[in-house]
Structure formats: structure tokens, C-alpha cells
Amino acid sequence: MNENVVWHHATVTRKRRENMNSHRSVILWFTGLSNSGKSTIAHATEEQLHTRGCRTFVFDGDNVRHGLCADLGFSREDRDENIRRVGEMSKLFVEAGIIALTAFISPFRGDRNRVRNLVQEGDFLEIFCKCPLEVCEQRDVKGHYKKARLGEIKEFTGISSPYEEPIHPDLVLTTDTLSVEQCVDKVVDLLRQRGVINITANS
């Protein structure tokens, strides 16, 4: 980093923003194979939190690659950079007092741990959307898995590139057996247990 770049400490702090919002800010990091339900559950969780008066934003893997990470491909190096950028952006949203929900395959533990280490302990909640590969393939209306098996898509997670399951996730959602509503309830319960939201506030 350039030695002439100096961090400016704002007078409006994260704590003041959280007090105004009546909830803590946090990163909800949804990880799992393609078609495991990450985006669906993240957006459904945001809808539930929004109705409770929470300030939220979803970083969706596909959406981010239309703008912030439009210049990146799917090599190991580009995947690392994709997650680095999203992690830094999520950190800023935490400072803004917002509940940041991210839906990314983020297949490598090292990348996820680097994001965890960007923020204070308890600010990063890893949510593993656990779903058998065969079920994810059955859900794949875009045909990405089929193309990957035919060699038409290189370095596709679960087929030609590995997925490293979380070792100690904060929450495991078995998305092949639970409904979206049940998954959302479990996420909201986690936020209540960790003191992020008051379950009765603004409901």
C-alpha cells in the first residue's frame, strides 16, 4: 500500500449506525455447490429480514460478475480475486451497519477464511448449503453441469474443480431435505442466537 494513503476515521461510527438500525451488522456467507440453493435462500432471508425492518443487501455471485468482477474469469487466480473483492466490499457494508448476505460458491476454504479474517470475530457467519452433487445436477436448468461433464466448461466446481466443504460452519442447511422457508427460519434463528437481531423487534 502507498505510504501516502492514510485511513480517515469517520465521526459516524459503525456502532452509531447499528444503534440507528436497531440491529447489528454482519456478513452472512452462503457457500455451496452451484444449484445448492445459495441465492434463493439468501434472497428469501433478505425478504424476511426486510419485513422486520433490517437494513440488508445481497451480493449475488452472478450479479457481481456483471459489474464489480466483470473482468474476471474462472481460473483459480480469478476466483481468489473475485472472493477478495466481495470480501472487502462486504467489510465496508458491515461498517455501514448493514447485514450483508453473500451467495457465492467460494469453493476454497482459504478464500473464505481470508474474508473471515477481514472482520471482527462474530462478524462473519459461514452458512453451508449442503446438497448432494446429483441433486444439484437435477436442478440445473441452465445445463452447466452437463456442459462441464462434456468438457465444454473448464474448471467447473464439483466436476473438474474441487469444492472444499466448511469444517466448522456456523450453520449447515441440508437444502435437499429442507424447504426454502425452513432454511430461512434457521438463518433467522442463528441471527437471533448470535444477538444480531431482536426476534420481536419490528416484526
Distance CA 86, CA 82 (A): 6
pTM (two decimals): 0.89
Catalytic residue set: 106
Distance CA 128, CA 160 (A): 21
Tell whether 106 is covered by a domain. Answer: yes
pLDDT band at 8 (very low <50, low <70, confident <90, very high): low
The average pLDDT across 74-88 equals 88
Query: Do residues 184 and 141 lie in contact, with contact meaning Cβ atoms separated by under 8 Å?
Result: no
pLDDT band at 78 (very low <50, low <70, confident <90, very high): confident
Instruction: Give the model's pLDDT for residue 5.
Output: 66
Tell whether 146 is covered by a domain. Answer: no
Range of the domain at 100: 14-131+164-187
The average pLDDT across 5-28 equals 87
Domain CATH code at residue 183: 3.40.50.300
Q: State pLDDT tens for residues 89-130.
A: 999 999 999 999 999 999 999 999 999 999 999 999 999 999
How many domains in the chain? 1
